[in-house]
Amino acid sequence: MMDVPGAGSGREAAWKTMPPEELENQYSPSRWVVRQGPQEALRTYAQTGLQATTRARATRRCQLHVPYGDGDGEKMDIYFPDEQSEALPFFLFFHGGYWQSGSKDESAFMASVLTAKGVAVAIVAYDIAPKGNLDQMVGQVARSVVFVQKRYPCNQGLYLCGHSAGAHLAAMMLLTDWAQLGAAPNLRGFFLLSGVYDLEPLVHTSQNAPLLMTPEDAQRNSPQRQLEAARAQPADPACPVLVIVGQHDSAEFHRQSREFYQALCRGGWTASLEELHDVDHFEIVENLTQEEDALTQIILKTIFRKF
């Protein structure tokens, strides 16, 4: 774990003084890739996810389109190891796409690699904008966690992972009142990849067009702000929260990750902050198709506690 730097007292002033075009630039991840152009990077990301999902569906034992709630969008795909057992660690993945694009049908990047190592993988869908709003999405993700816990009560731990907007949704689970949902999920770890944890800057960018977030919506759904306001204590202080960002993510994504990590440490969570070398906002997930990838190894070591 890294030492806790000073509190981010200049957080608001930093982004509020940016020219609108620079704020837009900072929150446009495809503009920061270095391997190819923005559109090529987005195409490669989508193709990699689709290919990985198609391969996992064809080669792994799986249950597809499993409903975890009553809504049309409340479905998940579950991929299993060859071992016939319910006493498995479960890795739940929430896709990115700025809460307005992406789907479970092209997001099983890690399914083949993790199931080969004995981990069950659930790829969770949620209602993206404009059909869904942030409050609905947060509720859906919470229900998906409760569903897995109740369906597989003998699990060896639930590990929540989200990318970008999905990292935000996973982070909101740190603040969930599970008693109100009638479950105590066996949460053993969080992997938050290139996430946004304070949503207020996004209110002032084009990303907000389909979301229609008000400042109040952003405040209510910002894990950074809610963590600071609630002074919530972790249910299990030993549950690790890994905040991970790519070297080629923008300065604002780095700031968001750093300041959320600081807030976690001040709140008593077992948190760590990791910058992955020579990867951008999209490669951080694309590379999970590879067993030798640095992040894949971090995930496996965390699940199996081989330090």
CATH code for the domain of 218? 3.40.50.1820
Catalytic residue chosen out of the listed positions 77, 105, 217, 249: 249
Please report which confidence band the pLDDT of residue 84 belongs to, taking 50, 70 and 90 as the band edges. Answer: confident
- Report the alpha-carbon distance of residue 198 to residue 215 in Å, rounded: 11
Catalytic residue chosen out of the listed positions 163, 204, 248, 281: 281
Place of tokens 């190894």: 297
- Radius of gyration, CA atoms only, the chain: 18
Tell me the backbone φ, ψ of residue 246, rounded to 5 degrees: -85, 145
Mean pLDDT, rounded, of the chain: 92
Residue 205 lies in a domain: yes
Q: Is 105 a catalytic residue?
A: no
Neighbours of 71 (CB within 10 A): 17
Span 91-118, average pLDDT: 97
pLDDT exceeds 80 at position 141:
yes
pLDDT exceeds 60 at position 7:
no
Residue 182 lies in a domain: yes
| Identity of the residue numbered 91 | F
pLDDT exceeds 80 at position 237:
no
pLDDT at 238: 84
Structurally, the chain folds into a number of domains equal to: 1
pLDDT exceeds 50 at position 42:
yes
pLDDT at 15: 85
pLDDT at 1: 37
Q: Please, what is the Cα angle at 177 between 103 and 80, to 5 degrees?
A: 40
Residue 65 lies in a domain: yes
| Identity of the residue numbered 133 | N
The residue segments making up the domain with residue 157 are: 26-232+241-304
SS3 105: helix
Q: Is 249 a catalytic residue?
A: yes
238 touches 17 (CB < 8 A): no
* CB half-sphere exposure, 162, CA atoms < 13 A: 29
Catalytic residue chosen out of the listed positions 164, 194, 250, 257: 164
Span 261-273, average pLDDT: 93
Residue 20 lies in a domain: no
Whole-prediction pTM: 0.94
pLDDT at 8: 43
Distances (CA, A) of 185 to 194, 223, 265, 305: 24, 19, 22, 19
- Report the alpha-carbon distance of residue 185 to residue 166 in Å, rounded: 19
Residue 149 lies in a domain: yes
Give the helix ranges, DSSP H, for 186-239. Answer: 215-220, 223-230
Residue 137 lies in a domain: yes
Span 198-209, average pLDDT: 95
pLDDT at 70: 94
Q: Is the peptide bond preceding residue 130 cis, with omega within 30 degrees of 0?
A: yes
Residue (of 95, 113, 112) closest to 104 by Cα position: 95
Residue 5 lies in a domain: no
Residue 47 lies in a domain: yes
Q: Is 95 a catalytic residue?
A: no
